A = this chain, B = another copy of it.
Amino acid sequence: MVHQATVTAPVNIAVVKYWGKRDTKLHLPTNSSLSVTLDQDYLCSTTTARADAAFKKEDGSPEDRDRLWLNGNEETIAGNGRFERCISEMRALRTKYEQTKPDATKLADLPLRIASHNSFPTAAGLASSASGYAALTAALAALYELNTFLPSSPAPAHLPIPALSKLARQGSGSACRSLMGGFVAWDMGAHADGRDSAARQIADEAHWPDMHAIICVASAAKKAVSSTAGMQATVATSPLHAARCGVPAPGAPVAAYASGRGLVDGPGGTMAQMQDAIRRKDFDTFAEVAMAESNQFHAVALDTRPPIRYMNDTSWNIVSAITAYNTLVAQRTRGQRKYAAAYTFDAGPNAVVYALQSDVREIIELLLALFPFAEGAAHDARTGMQAGERPFEDRLGVFGEEGWAGQAGVPEGWSEGVGPFEPGEVKRLIHTKVGPGPRVYEGFGRTDEARAVLGADGYPKKL
Contact = CB atoms under 8 A, between A and B. Distances in A.
Interface of A: 239-240, 243-244, 263, 288, 291-292, 295-296, 298-300, 302-307, 309, 312-313, 316, 319, 323
Contacts of A244: 239-240, 243
A240 B309 contact: no
Contact of A295 (B243, B288, B303, B319): B303
Contacts of A303: 240, 292, 295-296, 299
Contacts of A305: 288, 291-292, 295
Contacts of A288: 305
A188 B326 CA distance: 36
A306 B291 CA distance: 8
CB-CB nearest 3 A-B residue pairs: A243-B243, A299-B299, A299-B303
Contacts of A319: 306-307, 309
Contacts of A313: 312-313
A188 to B, nearest CB: 18
A316 B298 CA distance: 14
Nearest to A308: B295
Contacts of A300: 240, 299
Number of copies: 2
A323 B306 contact: yes
Given A291-B307, A312-B313, 10 more contacts: A239-B244, A243-B243, A243-B244, A292-B303, A299-B300, A299-B302, A306-B323, A307-B319, A309-B319, A312-B316
A240 B263 CA distance: 9
Contacts of A263: 239-240
B306 A316 contact: no
Contact of A240 (B299, B304, B312): B299
Nearest to A313: B313
A362 to B, nearest CB: 20
Given A296-B240, A298-B302, A303-B295, A316 B309 contact: yes
Contact of A243 (B240, B304, B312): B240
Nearest to A292: B305
10 contacts: A240-B296, A240-B300, A240-B303, A291-B306, A295-B303, A299-B299, A299-B303, A306-B319, A306-B323, A313-B313
A142 to B, nearest CB: 42
Contact of A302 (B295, B304, B312): B295
Contacts of A304: 295
A295 B291 CA distance: 20
Contacts of A298: 302
A459 B8 CA distance: 77
A341 to B, nearest CB: 12
A291 B239 CA distance: 14
A80 to B, nearest CB: 25
Given A243-B240, A243-B243, A313-B313, A295 B323 contact: no
Nearest to A239: B263
Q: Which of A263, A296, A298, A313 has the most CB of B within 10 A?
A: A296
A302 B301 CA distance: 11
Contacts of A299: 240, 299-300, 302-303
Nearest to A304: B295
